[in-house]
Each structure stands twice: as C-alpha cells, then as structure tokens.
C-alpha cells in the first residue's frame, strides 16, 4: 500500500509540474499526459467541461498544448472557449498543435462518392446516441480554423500537412 500511495503522490506532482497538455485526448492509449477531457475514462487525468469551464491551470504556464481530434466534438462556441483558455494558460511563444478532419475534403468526397459510411462517419463520427461527445458538433476547413485560432490569441498559424487525405495538422504560436 505504501508503494501505491507513493505512486499516486508522484503522479499528482507530475501533473502539477507538467507544461505540455492534451485537450480532449479521451481514452486513447497513445495520448500524452496530463490529458484533460470532458468525460472521465481510462487515460483521462483531469475532467473539465471544456466548453464552459476554465482550464484548471494558472496563466502563462504551458509550453505546448495538443488538441488531436477534439475540437470538432465541441460546439463552435465551446471550441472558441477552449481555444481562448489554451491561449490563457500558455506562455508567450508556446506552441498549439491541432489535428482535425478536413471538412472541405470530406464534403468533396460526399459530393463525388455519395452518402457512404466512410465519409459520413468523418462528419458525424458516432454510431449511437449513448455518448454525447462521441458525435462531431462542428466542422472546420484550414481557413475557418485558422481564423478561430487567430481570434483566440495565436499567430504564425501553419498548415503542417495532412495526416491522411481527410485530416490536416496545424500549429500556431501564442502571441
């Protein structure tokens, strides 16, 4: 039992000292920590209402934040809120990294291929209504997300290529 208490104490200390955060990493096994998500689950370190609450970190602390496939699970205003919160907790010149579905590409595929499950899943994501945040609530093109990121207080927004044909990567620097 002493070993478990020591492990928990050290884990809490690492979370407080961390300067790199993941927003909405969910139960992914390869997510970095601390992982802040809207629902509890395996691999989630901190539960926070990303659409409404302040991130539980002090201003100007983080050197990087990653949001991998998370912003589209929030309503547009919720994503705007969490982007502003990321800017608040990040140091000047810290880096925000985002990977997200390329809504323009996905819509092109639907127009050309029709209403096939593969492309519809990229839009809606969920297969049942048990998981409120399993579904995508908003879609982004590079240009629309760039505008949102800049409005939240970031600069030097860069398109970092595609992870695959339907997902793009973006980075930005905190002003």
Are the C-beta atoms of residues 89 and 57 closer than 8 Å to each other? yes
Q: How far, in Å, are 13, 101, 133, 134, 139 from residue 70 at the CA level?
A: 26, 10, 9, 10, 11
Please tell me the predicted confidence (pLDDT) of residue 16. 55
The pLDDT of residue 50: 96
pLDDT at residue 10 in the model? 63
Q: Classify 90 as helix, strand or coil.
A: strand
Residue ranges with strand state E in the chain? 20-23, 35-37, 46-47, 62-68, 90-101, 154-164, 167-174
Helices 142-151 and 76-89 sit at what angle, rounded to 10 degrees?
Answer: 50
CA distances from 170 to 7, 87, 164 (A): 35, 15, 13
pLDDT of residue 47: 94
Residue with tokens 């819509």: 107
pLDDT averaged over consecutive 10-residue blocks of the chain (175 residues)?
A: 64 64 85 86 91 94 93 96 97 96 95 90 72 79 98 98 94 96
* First-to-final CA distance of the chain: 46
Judge contact between 172 and 156, C-beta under 8 A. yes
β-pairing, 154-164 vs 62-68, is unpaired
The label of the residue with tokens 């492990």 reads 7
Model pLDDT, residue 118: 85
**pLDDT at residue number 15:** 55
């Amino acid at each position: 039992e002493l070993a478990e208490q020591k492990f928990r104490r050290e884990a809490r200390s690492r979370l407080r000292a961390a300067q790199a955060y993941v927003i909405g990493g969910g139960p992914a096994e390869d997510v970095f920590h601390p992982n802040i998500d809207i629902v509890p689950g395996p691999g989630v370190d901190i539960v926070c209402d990303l659409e409404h609450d302040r991130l539980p970190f002090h201003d100007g602390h983080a050197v990087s934040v990653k949001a991998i496939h998370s912003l589209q699970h929030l309503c547009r205003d919720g994503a705007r809120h969490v982007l502003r919160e990321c800017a608040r907790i990040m140091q000047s010149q810290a880096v925000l990294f985002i990977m997200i579905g390329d809504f323009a590409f996905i819509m092109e595929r639907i127009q050309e291929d029709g209403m096939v499950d593969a492309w519809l899943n990229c839009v809606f994501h969920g297969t049942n209504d048990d998981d409120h945040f399993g579904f995508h609530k908003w879609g982004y093109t590079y240009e629309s997300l760039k505008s949102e990121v800049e409005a939240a207080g970031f600069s030097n927004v860069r398109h970092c290529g595609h992870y695959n044909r339907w997902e793009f990567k973006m980075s930005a620097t905190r002003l």
